[in-house]
């Protein structure tokens, strides 16, 4: 089953753009699947960095996080993409999502180096 990026497209793009924008306080966005579907949706976002993000990860779910961090040496924004597969997530969904994780990058409005 392929990941559906269409149903919540605007919500996904807006969250991604907020994280990328250095002028916006949002520095992470967390995405997951809408109920029992393969529709990717926004689970949460925040300005509290990786520490805040880790509090939102669910050990029973497949999730994806996009984060902005500052390089302490250059003060340049760097971006992190996290593919979270909680230990309690259904095995069937783990396999499907691992094969289609490249689709997650399609929500980005610009091309990313893979």
- For residue 25, is it within any domain? yes
Both tokens assigned to 50:
């990786």
For CA atoms 82, 86, 87, 89, the dihedral sign is negative
Q: What does pTM read for this prediction?
A: 0.82
Contacting residues for 81 by C-beta, under 8 A, at least 6 apart: 64, 65, 66, 67, 104, 105
- For residue 1, is it within any domain? no
Chain segment 59-109, per-residue pLDDT in tens: 999 999 999 999 999 999 999 989 899 899 887 777 666 555 555 555 555
For residue 76, the Cα-to-chain-centroid distance in whole angstroms is: 21
Q: Total structural domains in the chain?
A: 1
- For residue 2, is it within any domain? no
Q: For the domain that residue 75 is a member of, what is the CATH number?
A: 3.40.20.10
């Amino acid at each position: 089953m392929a990941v559906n990026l269409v149903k919540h497209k605007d919500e996904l793009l807006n969250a991604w753009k907020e994280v990328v924008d250095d002028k916006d306080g949002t520095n992470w966005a967390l995405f997951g699947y809408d109920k029992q579907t393969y529709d990717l949706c926004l689970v949460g976002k925040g300005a509290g960095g990786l520490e805040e993000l880790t509090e939102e990860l669910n050990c029973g779910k497949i999730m994806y996080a996009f984060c902005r961090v500052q390089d302490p040496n250059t003060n340049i924004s760097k971006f992190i993409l996290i593919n979270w597969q909680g230990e309690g997530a259904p095995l069937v969904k783990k396999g499907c999502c691992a094969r289609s994780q490249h689709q997650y990058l399609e929500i980005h409005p610009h091309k990313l180096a893979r």
